[in-house]
Amino acid sequence: MEALIAGWTAGYIMAMFTTVAVTYLVLRSREAALVERWVARDVSGPLLIIPILIGAAIGWTMFGLVVGGIYEVASLDGEPGGLGSPSVAFTLAIVTLGLAPTLLLGILWQRLWWMWACFALAFGALFGWLLPHLGGR
């Protein structure tokens, strides 16, 4: 049960990061054709934060629950530790999972490489290290 709560917590923190980043992108590129297709010009910027926050919170917390469930069911807390984590295999799998989309997004949108790197770092830290530490309590 602790791993599920840890996964939900990691997912909620990741949702906060996602909300800030997506809000920044939407408000920054308000005149872009893609944004105008989905959002009318007369919709205020702060009003956009609400659906972004709700969608990110639901998506990331569900992902966190799934990852926490996998950690719990697979009994990965009994694996050997390393890299500052109770389960080095789980941490390496999560870091690899976080790097795959980062490389693709870095190729497609090179201008925002710093944002993708921050997301990968947060993903690895929250799901790869925080979840096993909180799940083992």
Residues 6+ positions from 112 with CB-CB distance below 8 Å: 25, 105
Mean pLDDT for 3-31 is 87
pLDDT in tens, 64-104: 999 999 888 887 766 666 666 777 888 888 999 999 888 88
Mean confidence (pLDDT) of the chain: 84
Mean pLDDT for 104-131 is 89
Asked if the model's pLDDT at residue 22 lies above 80, the reply is yes
pTM assigned to the model: 0.83
27's tokens? 């408000």
Q: How many helices (H) and strands (E) does the chain have?
A: 6, 0
Predicted local confidence at residue 75, as pLDDT: 77
Name the residue with tokens 């049960």: 1
